[in-house]
Amino acid sequence: MGRRRAPELYRAPFPLYALQVDPSAGLLIAAGGGGAAKTGIKNGVHFLQLERINGRLSASLVHSHDTETRATMNLALAGDILAAGQDAHCQLLHFQAHQQKGNKAEKAGKTGSKEQGPRQRKGAVPAEKKCGVETQQEGLELRVENLQVVQTDFSPDPLQKVVCFNHDNTLLATGGTDGYVRVWKVPSLEKVLEFKAHEGEIEDLALGPDGKLVTVGWDLKASVWQKDQLVTQLHWQENGPTFSSTPYRYQACRFGQVPDQPAGLRLFTVQIPHKRLRQPPPCYLTAWDGSNFLPLRTKSCGHEVISCLNVSESGTFLGLGTVTGSVAIYIAFSLQCLYYMRESHGIVVTDVAFLPEKGRGPELLGSHETALFSVAVDSRCQLHLLPSRRSVPVWLLLLACVGLIVVTILLLQSAFPGFL
């Protein structure tokens, strides 16, 4: 019997490294490629339409944007603008998608496909398109074009490792192997800030709504910045486990809202062992107060090395991927694991993204509590659904307690006639 896997939404003709979800159009955007090596593996950004067909969430390819010799390793989304990290550069892409009037595409043939390449909608034009060419299909029109591009990393072996937009999408920040944070205007990509954040590679960064920037690097440090001024450094072991001989480094960081608290803010980080050991120690997940950056709670998240982290739109759930292909969903409040699929991909999970809770999100989610997408080097995009947790109303609990008390009194009265 084979290992249990999550449902596969589609399979790309190249390794997948980055993932975003556009809530307004219901588009799943996956990117990757084989790089500049002449192996015959293409590079591209795939746009897939999410739909519910026969009660199940399905994805169908509507446009493939060719990125020539550059594989996209990281993505950030701001409305209809994508920031794509390609080698040492950041490429902005603009896309437009809207429904056409007229007959909708046939949906019957979309389910159950087992082809090696991405599924295409019935009547779709060939997937590979040049920059700026419209893709038209029954019921859908999509156009993608390249905007500005800029080099963002200048190390001897340059590579942009992370990109993210600020809260109002007017700026984007990049980090890479040279340890520098660079901030750029959108969409002109005019540089407005540059400073050395880490000795060695920047592994991840996150921009908060108040303008604070959190960076984590291979120098084992996690730092909070206000522009180029260091505000504080994070110390996750202050209220957590201590290890005298096992150095840990921060692998990922993400800001998230506090559910039911509009002004509340949390920071979440993942800590992994800095060196591979024969008996690997556990990895850890930490929640921080987003205003004073003090650790609130730390929990072990298993012995598999964590490769990526994401937070749901409302801040309720955390999604994790591992280097061994496993995928997990945690509840952000208590850091309790709600869902775990062991080695679902069988190889390193490169990115995870939640289905947004706005736009078409609720329509696509159906009766489930949340949906997490994952991509990996195996070229697959998988779907992980968390069933709705059943809750008992408070009034029913009170009624049950009263009933239990009455039954207990009656039993005591029957056993001991003079009890009352």
Confidence category of residue 393, pLDDT binned at 50, 70, 90: low
**Is residue 364's pLDDT more than 80?**
yes
Res 385: pLDDT: 95
pLDDT digits 0-9 by tens, 38-80: 888 999 999 999 999 988 999 999 999 999 999 999 999 999 9
Res 171: pLDDT: 97
**Number of Cβ within a 10 Å radius of residue 150:** 17
How would DSSP label each residue in 265-303?
EEEEEEEEESS--SSPPPPEEEEEETTT--EEEEEE--S
Token duo for residue 270: 């993942």
Quickly count helices (H) and strands (E) in the chain: 2, 30
Res 388: pLDDT: 84
Q: Which of 36-45, 294-303, 313-322 has the lowest average pLDDT?
A: 36-45
Q: For the chain, what are the domain ranges?
A: 8-98+141-389, 393-419
Q: Give the integer Cα–Cα distance in Å for 42 and 349.
A: 20
Q: Give the integer Cα–Cα distance in Å for 348 and 353.
A: 15
**Number of Cβ within a 10 Å radius of residue 206:** 22
DSSP 144: E
| Residue 362 DSSP SS3 | helix
Token duo for residue 389: 């947790």
Q: Give the integer Cα–Cα distance in Å for 185 and 165.
A: 10
Token duo for residue 78: 């701001």
Computed over every residue of the chain, the mean pLDDT equals 87
**Is residue 242's pLDDT more than 70?**
no
What residues are paired with 43 via a beta bridge?
A: 33
Confidence category of residue 132, pLDDT binned at 50, 70, 90: very low
Res 138: pLDDT: 54
Q: Which of 201-210, 224-233, 393-402 has the lowest average pLDDT?
A: 393-402
Residue 35 neighbours by CB under 8 Å, 6+ apart: 41, 43, 69, 70, 71, 87
**Is residue 337's pLDDT more than 80?**
yes
Res 125: pLDDT: 37
Higher pLDDT, 108 or 148: 148
Res 270: pLDDT: 97
**Is residue 374's pLDDT more than 70?**
yes
pLDDT digits 0-9 by tens, 72-111: 999 999 999 999 999 999 999 999 987 766 544 444 344 4
Res 410: pLDDT: 75
Task: Give percent of the chain with pLDDT exceeding 90.
Answer: 69
Res 238: pLDDT: 72
Res 244: pLDDT: 60
Confidence category of residue 278, pLDDT binned at 50, 70, 90: confident
**Which architecture characterizes domain 8-98+141-389 according to CATH?**
7 Propeller (2.130)
Q: Give the integer Cα–Cα distance in Å for 139 and 103.
A: 6
Q: Give the integer Cα–Cα distance in Å for 49 and 102.
A: 18
Q: Which of 139-148, 170-179, 286-295, 332-341 has the lowest average pLDDT?
A: 139-148
